[in-house]
Structure 1
Amino acid sequence: MKILHHGAVNGVTGSCHELVINNSTSILIDCGLFQGEDSKTDLAIGFDITNVTALIVTHCHIDHVGRIPYLLAAGFKGPIYTTKASASLLPLVIEDALKVGVTRDPKIIAACLSLLAKRIVAVDFKTWFNLPINPSVNNAENTQTAKARFQRAGHILGSAYVEIDIFENKSTKTTPNNTQGKSTHRVVFSGDLGAPYTPLLPTPKPPYKADTLVIESTYGDKNHQGRKERTQTLKKVIEGAVADNGVVLVPAFSIGRTQELLYELEQLIHSAPKNSPWHSIHVILDSPMAANFTEQYRNFKHLWDAEAKRKVAKGRHPLDFKNLTTIDTHKEHVAIISYLATRQTPAIILAASGMCTGGRIVNYLARFLSDKTTDILFVGYQGRGTLGHDIQTYGPRNGYVFVNDTRIIINAKVHTISGYSAHADQNGLIKFVTGMRKKPNHIKIVHGDDDAKNALANKYREILGEKTFVEIAK
C-alpha cells in the first residue's frame, strides 16, 4: 500500500489523493480543481488511471470535485461513492463548474451530467461499503479486500472524512492446510474538517483509530475566535459598516459559509430590540448556486445540529427569514447593483465566489470597492494569487487591485473574521488526532500553505513523540 498525491500538496486546492492498494488497484479520494496561484490551464488528468477502480468524494467544494468531468473524459468508469447529501449537491456543483470554466453548450453539459449520474453511489454515514479490488498481478498468494465508511466532518452539508480498512489475506504454507493469515490496515482521509461550534452542523468526532492518517492543514498554524466572540465581532462590524448607509460585501462560498452566515444574521436580527436598525437591514443573497444549496440545506434538516433543530421547532426559519432577498437572474443582479449605487440604503450582500475569483461578487467589487462607505467582510480563507487575497493584503494600506482588467483604488474598509472559517483550526486538527483511542503510526499532512503544514507537523511531533512518523506530503 502507498499513497500518491495529485493535488493539495503545494497549497490548499486541487485535492486528489490516490490510495494504491495493490499493483492493479487504486482508489481516488477527491478530484478537485486548482485555484489561485495553483491554477492550471491544462486540466486534463495528468496521471495514469488504468488501475483506478473507484472515486470517493469527501464533500462538494470545487477544490475537491472540480476535476471530475476531466476524470470522466479520461475514461473513468468506476463508482463515485459519496454521502447522500453530497450526492444531491454534486450535480449542481459540476454543472456550475462546466458553465463557468468549460462550456455553456447544453448538450455537452447534459452528457457530462448523465455520465456523472450513472457513476454516483450515495451512502449513509457510518455505513461500511465494499470497494472494488482487482486481484494483485504476479502475487496470487496474497489477496486484498477493502471497505470504507463515511463519518461526519462538520465542514459543509454532507461533508465526511473517510475510513478505509484494507485486509490482506496471506497464504501461510507453514501452517496446516495452508491456512490464511489476515492483517488489517486502516487509512483515514480527513477531507476538510469543520470548526467546532459552527452553526447548523455538529462538530466532527475523531475516529476510534487510524494506522495512517492523511489530514488537511488549512489553519494548521492558527486558532479561530470562539463563536460568541466571533458573533459579537460580526455584529460590531456590520453595525459600524451600515451606519453610513453603505453596503457590506461578503464574498462567500456557495456551500457552507453562506448558510452559516444566514443562520447567524437571522439570529442577530431575531434577538435585536424591536426598534433596532437591524430590523431594517436588507440581507441580499445574490447567487443562484448559493440559493440552490440553501434549499438543499433545508431539505436535509435531519443533518443539522441540535441548536438549529430547536429553532425550527419553535417556528423560526434560520435560512429563510423576512429580511432576506434572493436574487436569481442576471437581470435582477444588474438591477440590484444599480439600485444600491443610487440609493443610500444599508445592505449586506452575500455573493460567490468566496475568494473573489469569479461569480457575481466581482461585479459588486468593480462598482463599490472604490467607495468609502463600502465595507468588505472576509469570513473565509483567501488563497494566494486570488483577488480576495490581494484585497485583503492591499486594502488596509489603500492600495489598488485589478478587477476585470480595470485598476481600482481600494477605498472600502476591509475586515477579516477568521472565526467563520468552515475549517478546523490548529486546536481542532490536534484534537482530531489526540481524540483517537489508537493513535496513527503515520501522518501525512496535505492541503495547507507551507507555514501551516510545518506548524502542524511540529505540533504533532511534539505531542505524539517518536511513535508516530509525521511527514508533509509531496
Structure 2
Amino acid sequence: MQVEFHGAAGQVTGSMHLVEAAGKRLLLDCGMLQGSREQEAGNAEPFPFDPAGLDAVVLSHAHIDHIGRVPLLVARGFSGPIWLQRASADLLPVMLEDAASLAASEAVRANRHRAPGEPEQAPLFTAADVAAVLALLRPLDYDVRTTILPGVEIALRDAGHILGSSIVELWADDRKLVFSGDLGPRGTPILRDPTAIAEADLVLMESTYGDRNHRERAATVHELGEVFEHAWRERGVVLIPAFAVGRSQELLYWFARHWDEWKLERWRIFLDSPMAAKVVGVYDRHQELFDEQARAVWARKPSPFRLPNLHYTASTGESMGINAIAGGAIVIAGSGMANGGRIQHHLRHRLARRDTHVVFVGYQAEGTLGRRLVERAPWVRIHGRDHRVNAQIHTVGGLSAHTDQQGLIDWYANFRNAPPVALVHGEDRAREALAGEIGERFGARVDLARPGMRLVV
C-alpha cells in the first residue's frame, strides 16, 4: 500500500490523498483550497494524477475543503463510486450546489470588470457538474465494514466534527491505514465523541490545532454571553461568520440552552444563509446521530432550530434588509472565514461602526478576510474597496469544530504499538509542535506530509 499526498499537506485546506493498494487507485477526499486569491487559483489547476485512472473516492465529511473539487474530478474523467457516510451524502449536494452558485456569481462579477483583451473567466464548476457527482454517491452507515473494490475494504467511524464526519479505516494488502479526517473535541454539543481506534499500520492525522489547546468550553460560552450583553447595552449588532455546517447549528444549540440567561428574547436573530437553513433540515433528519444531551435539548422548548425570534432569510432582498436595522440584532452568516457569502455584505456595511461586534467561532486560514480581522488589521478590502475596521473583534476559540493538541494526543493514545503518523491538514507551526509531542510521548515516527510525498505502508 502506498499513499501520495496532494492537498492539505503543509496547509489546512484542500484535503486530497491518493492511495494505491491491491492494484487499485483511490482518493481520500478531494477538497477545495481556501485562503488568498493566489491559493484559491490553484483549484482550477490540473490534478497531479489522471482522474479517469481512479477506481474510487472516499470522502471523510462534507466541508468544502474536503469535497469542493469533486465536481472537477468528475468533469475531468472520474466515473467511479464515491463512498461517504449517509448524513454526509445528504449534506454534500447542499454544499456543492451553493459552491456552484457562488462560482457562477464570482465569474459574472469578474467578467464585468475584466480589462480589454483579458480572457473571460468561467466558473470553477456548474450545477450540471454537481448533478453528475450525485449519481456516483454510495452512502454508508457508521461501523459497517464494506468491500468497496476487489481487495479493498473500508469502515467509517464517527469523527465528532460535523454531522456525518468520519474516520476512515482502510484495509488492503494485509495492511491497515487510518485516516482521521477532521476530529471534533470530546463533549461537542449535538455530536458524539470521536471513535477510538486501536490498530493501524499508518495514521493520516489532522493537525489544525496541533500547537495549542482550546479554552474550556464553559468559559467560552460564558464569554459569548458577555459579548451579547455588552452589545445590547450599546444597542449594537453582533455579526458571527459561521460555517453553514456545524458552527451555525451549534450556535443555535447554545442559544436554546442559554435562552433565559442571555435574555435572547429581546434580540432579533437571523440565520442569513440559505445553505445553513437547508443544513438544518438535514440535521433534523439525522437526529439518530445526536448525543443524549442534544436529544434532550431538542425535546424541550425553545427548540434550537425553532427559536421564536429566529428568522431564516432566504432571499437576497431579505438579507439586504438586515443592514437597515440600527441595533439589537444577531446575524449568523457564511462564510465561516468571511472569504465570501453574505457575511461580507454585512461586514462592508458595519465594520466602520464601533457598536458592531464581530465574533469569530472557528479556524481562520491564512490569507482569508477572517484571519486579517482576527489579527486586527485596521483596514480590509471587501468587494474591491477598502473599509476601516472600527468594529470590536472577538475570537471565541473554544467553540472550534476541531479538537485541540491535547485532544489529538488523547485520540492517538488509543492506538497500540505507536504506529507511524503522517500529519496533514495543518500549518507547519501546528504540525511541528504536534510531531514533537507525539514523538516524545510515544516514540512514534512522525512525518509532515508535503505535496507529492509518498509513504509506503
TM > 0.5 fold call: yes
Is 2:449 the partner of 1:470? no
Q: Secondary structure at the match of 1:234?
A: helix
8 Å Cα contact 2:11-2:427 kept in structure 1: yes
Equivalent position of 2:382 in the other structure: 403
Equivalent position of 2:96 in the other structure: 94
8 Å Cα contact 1:213-1:440 kept in structure 2: no
Q: Secondary structure at the match of 2:258?
A: helix
Equivalent position of 2:345 in the other structure: 363
**Which letter does structure 2 place at the counterpart of 1:309?**
R
CA-CA distance at 1:10 after TM superposition: 2.2
Q: 1:265 aligns with which of 255, 259, 265?
A: 255
Is 2:127 the partner of 1:149? no
| Range with greater deviation from structure 2 (384-393 or 45-54) | 45-54
Is 2:20 the partner of 1:20? yes
Q: Deviations over 1:183-222 (max 9, x none)?
A: x211000110011211110111211211100000000001
Q: In the superposition, relative to structure 1, how do residues 43 and 268 fare at CA in structure 2: closer, same or farther (>3 Å)?
A: farther
Q: For residues 263 and 128 of structure 2, what CA distance do their matches in structure 1 show?
A: 50
Q: For residues 281 and 237 of structure 1, what CA distance do their matches in structure 2 show?
A: 13
8 Å Cα contact 1:221-1:456 kept in structure 2: yes
Equivalent position of 1:252 in the other structure: 242
Equivalent position of 1:160 in the other structure: 166
Q: Which runs of 5+ in 1 are unaligned?
A: 134-144, 169-183
Figure out how many residues of one structure are paired with residues of the other and give that number: 431
CA-CA distance at 1:311 after TM superposition: 2.0
**Which letter does structure 2 place at the counterpart of 1:117?**
L
Q: 1:221 aligns with which of 186, 205, 211?
A: 211
**Which letter does structure 1 place at the counterpart of 2:102?**
V
Q: For residues 420 and 403 of structure 1, what CA distance do their matches in structure 2 show?
A: 26
Q: In the superposition, relative to structure 1, how do residues 310 and 426 fare at CA in structure 2: closer, same or farther (>3 Å)?
A: same
Equivalent position of 2:275 in the other structure: 289
Q: For residues 277 and 431 of structure 1, what CA distance do their matches in structure 2 show?
A: 37
Q: Secondary structure at the match of 2:218?
A: helix
Q: For residues 152 and 147 of structure 2, what CA distance do their matches in structure 1 show?
A: 6
8 Å Cα contact 2:353-2:390 kept in structure 1: yes
CA-CA distance at 1:277 after TM superposition: 4.1
**Which letter does structure 1 place at the counterpart of 2:275?**
M
Q: For residues 389 and 364 of structure 2, what CA distance do their matches in structure 1 show?
A: 17
CA-CA distance at 1:226 after TM superposition: 1.6
**Which letter does structure 2 place at the counterpart of 1:322?**
P
| Range with greater deviation from structure 2 (96-105 or 385-394) | 96-105
**Which letter does structure 2 place at the counterpart of 1:67?**
R
CA-CA distance at 1:52 after TM superposition: 1.5
Is 2:415 the partner of 1:416? no
Equivalent position of 1:132 in the other structure: 149
Q: For residues 235 and 263 of structure 2, what CA distance do their matches in structure 1 show?
A: 11
CA-CA distance at 1:446 after TM superposition: 0.6
Q: For residues 6 and 163 of structure 1, what CA distance do their matches in structure 2 show?
A: 20
Runs of 4+ in structure 1 over 6 Å off = 103-106
CA-CA distance at 1:40 after TM superposition: 2.1
Q: For residues 231 and 188 of structure 2, what CA distance do their matches in structure 1 show?
A: 24
Q: Secondary structure at the match of 1:46?
A: coil
Q: Deviations over 1:40-72 (max 9, x none)?
A: 252442322344110001101000000001100
8 Å Cα contact 1:43-1:67 kept in structure 2: no
Q: Secondary structure at the match of 2:66?
A: helix
Equivalent position of 2:419 in the other structure: 441
CA-CA distance at 1:440 after TM superposition: 4.1
Q: Deviations over 1:267-323 (max 9, x none)?
A: 111x42xxx743211211000001110111111111111001112333541222112
Equivalent position of 2:453 in the other structure: none
CA-CA distance at 1:109 after TM superposition: 4.2
8 Å Cα contact 1:213-1:444 kept in structure 2: yes
**Which letter does structure 2 place at the counterpart of 1:161?**
I
8 Å Cα contact 2:26-2:56 kept in structure 1: yes
Equivalent position of 2:177 in the other structure: 187
Q: Which runs of 5+ in 2 are unaligned?
A: 109-121, 451-457
Q: For residues 132 and 48 of structure 1, what CA distance do their matches in structure 2 show?
A: 18
Is 2:347 the partner of 1:330? no
Residues 165-184 of structure 1 aligned to structure 2 (within 5 Å)? 165-166=171-172, 168=173, 184=174
Is 2:404 the partner of 1:387? no
Q: In the superposition, relative to structure 1, how do residues 206 and 127 fare at CA in structure 2: closer, same or farther (>3 Å)?
A: same
Residues 47-126 of structure 1 aligned to structure 2 (within 5 Å)? 47-102=49-104, 109-126=126-143
| Range with greater deviation from structure 2 (234-243 or 3-12) | 234-243
8 Å Cα contact 1:218-1:448 kept in structure 2: yes
Equivalent position of 1:4 in the other structure: 4
Q: For residues 234 and 410 of structure 1, what CA distance do their matches in structure 2 show?
A: 21
Q: In the superposition, relative to structure 1, how do residues 162 and 452 fare at CA in structure 2: closer, same or farther (>3 Å)?
A: same
Q: Secondary structure at the match of 2:305?
A: coil
| Range with greater deviation from structure 2 (314-323 or 123-132) | 314-323
Q: In the superposition, relative to structure 1, how do residues 356 and 57 fare at CA in structure 2: closer, same or farther (>3 Å)?
A: same
**Which letter does structure 2 place at the counterpart of 1:409?**
R
8 Å Cα contact 2:52-2:76 kept in structure 1: no
Cα-Cα RMSD: 1.8
Q: For residues 442 and 33 of structure 1, what CA distance do their matches in structure 2 show?
A: 27
Q: For residues 117 and 326 of structure 1, what CA distance do their matches in structure 2 show?
A: 27
Q: Deviations over 1:432-465 (max 9, x none)?
A: 11023x2442100011011100000001001111
The structure whose RCO (Cα within 8 Å, separation 6+) is larger is 2
8 Å Cα contact 2:243-2:335 kept in structure 1: yes
Q: For residues 383 and 75 of structure 1, what CA distance do their matches in structure 2 show?
A: 31
